């Protein structure tokens, strides 16, 4: 797959998310987001702000998703303005145990902003494919 210039700029953000998730590093995970970012989790929880995203993921990495792996793959990115983009990505979460043990595919929608030359996530919607929460 050949990436557009914009996709080449956005792809490293997903790589950082993936590396942070796979390291169980909530601080590094949340660093990919703006300070006032919005995140809608796969179960519908609405999380506002980098601090809350850090806290939520620290809890998840210590409990439900301890030892999990996640792979993020960019589908597409489109510029909405010179420093604003919308992107879609696939993720595949591999949870080793607990009530959500197994593989869980998802589709993400992200709004990203470029500030001082760096792209960050301003909003993320995580939608699991299927019904893992039942």
Consecutive H or E run containing 38: strand 33-40
Residues whose CB is less than 8 angstroms from the CB of residue 53 and which lie 6 or more positions away in sequence, other chains included? 26, 29, 30, 33, 37, 39, 47
CA distances from 132 to 68, 95, 104 (A): 15, 12, 8
Structure tokens at 70: 């996640």
Classify residue 58 as exposed, middle or buried by CB count within 10 Å of its CB (0-12, 13-18, 19+): middle
**pTM for this one?**
0.93
Residue-level pLDDT at 132: 56
User: pLDDT, tens digit, for every residue of 8-32?
Assistant: 999 999 999 999 999 999 999 999 9
pLDDT band at residue 134, thresholds of 50, 70 and 90? Answer: very low
Domains of the chain in sequence order: 5-128 (3.10.450.50)
User: pLDDT, tens digit, for every residue of 53-75?
Assistant: 999 999 999 999 999 999 999 99
């Amino acid at each position: 797959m050949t990436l557009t210039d914009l996709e080449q700029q956005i792809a490293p953000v997903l790589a950082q998310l993936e590396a942070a998730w796979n390291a169980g590093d909530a601080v590094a995970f949340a660093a990919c987001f703006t300070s006032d970012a919005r995140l809608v989790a796969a179960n519908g929880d609405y999380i506002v702000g980098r601090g809350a995203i850090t806290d939520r993921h620290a809890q998840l990495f210590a409990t439900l998703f301890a030892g999990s792996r996640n792979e993020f793959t960019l589908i597409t990115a489109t510029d909405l303005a010179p420093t604003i983009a919308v992107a879609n990505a696939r993720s595949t979460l591999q949870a080793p145990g607990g009530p959500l043990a197994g593989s869980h595919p998802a589709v993400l929608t992200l709004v990203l902003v470029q500030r001082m030359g760096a792209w960050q996530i301003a909003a993320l919607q995580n939608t699991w494919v299927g019904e893992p929460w039942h």
